[in-house]
Chains A and B, each alone.
Chain A
């Protein structure tokens, strides 16, 4: 394999404290060096002047739907969407069919990703057998098969005792337990289709109160403190949950958390259209919650931005709001949304943006990635912060196009996605 030279970009690597205009030379799929004015004879040169060169972005929360729901998405189309969104790796949730509660499913996912994937896939195994919340899955086997975390995502780990055991048991493997924070008794077993607040009152929908999220966050923070286990709270959307996580971090509790772009951009006012692409779980919350999420992105309470990429077939979303499934796709919109709404509006620095998309997800999942350090696998995301483009679902690589962001004009897009030294996606002119 010949060398690849990324020439003239602004290199950002929070791990090494780098923020400078420099060249990056990649050899044999690994980062060889980052330095000024490198000129390597015979290398393929990619002119990235005017662009940002960052360690590869990792989306640590996606649903690839394979095995079992290939009509919504496959590992092939999902990872193609990831590459097209600037991601060099994705961690996929286990609520497939069958669920990933068995090493054979983990291995199938990894095999399929090796065969057909544009980017590496890091499987997340189930906490409990069948995600039924009763007995621990064979987490040791799942880890040996390649799982990087466990979660019962879709629902919360059913009981405090099971969560306690999961947090204890996973300490052996040094992997996080990723929690979907929702007390089902407060959301009418997910029959409440939207946030509880003024809008649900006006529209007559059953409400999913932020308290449903906060209660599980509170429970799990107590258990993380009790056990010393590694807790990662998925898709946090409420001000109360963030307040508790901030406090717990301050006391040294082993907790991290993530947020999706829709939870730092949209409020439950969007539901007034009855558009089922505004239905997700956790639901779009109030303006005060969105403000709290942005504050937590700024102050470091939130560690990662994820998509919760949840492809659904158009027919499934074309139902009554109460009956439509939860979730939206996000892989091909997350990075431009974050650039436009967080970076360009001055909420976060470029350094912080890279931490949220790369450094921290890699650290939380212990991937040994998220940096451009010499000798690491050359996964690189190149951004053009000045690029203006319009979200166009008809151009998506994903099989599904359930998003409320279609038609949004955004500034700041990925232009190259590089995995192990190979350009797996580049923007069209």
Chain B
């Protein structure tokens, strides 16, 4: 979608013409919200990825701005610390000419004892078009979506889901591998506390990948196989034949003092260094949702090495968020307005 005027008009339809003929793409998203990957279907995921693919070009221009979402109001509600995701949504919104305001927990009235719902209702009363929410607890974005007529984008709810991360990961894999179907994707590390793992599992399975997870048993949530993945309690067998490796950050701030003895031991058993990387396919790519703990889950040699696509993920994050903002706030039918419970 190289032309600004096209971006302004019927972009989804045009995007479809440029995409591989085999894959299914929805005409629009079914919900006013993006709360989880679990509740999207493959054609909706493809719509977002294809839209994102065409938005990438905007960020490569000397003038990185199109008027597509001019006059739209977006609020970033961050109830948990975040730099990368918050900034990515801010830049994405600005490149589409939307007005965006970020509110973080430390500057909101939550510290004065206002409830989440009251905060949400107050923000809703200012007529935003979209709310982007990051929250420490699962289900927070769902709660917000139920009481707000504005569209809600989940930017991470506890250890539940982080849909835009999974979408940007899928876009990155597609960029490098052409197709996601039948790839062996290994996700390893602190699966238990990871919303990225959950969203990625749903997303990659819907797109036809074989997903393998590996973690010490203390970091593996029970019955993970029921999500459709193969699970290993050592990294080496998981890596064999891998096309894609996703390292997850050890989330020390989420507790788990009893989950492993030391960072040193973790790196010894689960750190992704060159030797372990050699177990994967030669052309395997290495990903990480960031921020990375060098020398804990991944060595610097691998993080900065030729197989690493970690910075591509960040760039794609921008494109994916532009696509999601566009698809949810851009145009389309009247919103399904719900009244407060």
Binding site for B on A (CB under 8 A): 188, 196-198, 200-205, 207, 274, 315, 318-323
Contacts and interface: CB of A to CB of B under 8 A. Distances in A.
Interface residues of B, number: 27
A204 B159 contact: yes
A201 B226 contact: yes
Contact of A198 (B116, B137, B195, B223): B223
A323 B137 contact: yes
Given A198-B223, A315-B115, A320 B198 contact: no
B135 A201 contact: no
Given A201-B227, A202-B227, A274 B143 contact: yes
Given A274-B143, A318-B115, A322-B138, 15 more contacts: A197-B223, A198-B226, A200-B221, A200-B222, A201-B224, A201-B227, A202-B198, A204-B138, A204-B157, A205-B138, A207-B221, A318-B117, A319-B115, A320-B139, A320-B143
A196 B138 CA distance: 15
A360 to B, nearest CB: 35
A198 B223 CA distance: 5
Nearest to B159: A204
Nearest to B157: A204
A304 B168 CA distance: 54
A184 B258 CA distance: 15
B100 to A, nearest CB: 24
A319 B161 CA distance: 19
A195 B74 CA distance: 36
Contacts, number: 61
Q: Which of A274, A318, A320 has the most CB of B within 10 A?
A: A320
Nearest to A316: B115
A164 to B, nearest CB: 28
Interface string B215-241: 000000111101100000000000000
A323 B136 CA distance: 11
A323 B116 CA distance: 11
Contacts of B255: 188
B65 interface: no
B204 to A, nearest CB: 16
A173 B226 CA distance: 51
A214 to B, nearest CB: 15
A198 B221 CA distance: 8
Q: Which 5 A-B pairs have the closest CB atoms?
A: A204-B159, A274-B139, A204-B160, A201-B221, A322-B137
Contacts of B341: 318
A287 B304 CA distance: 48
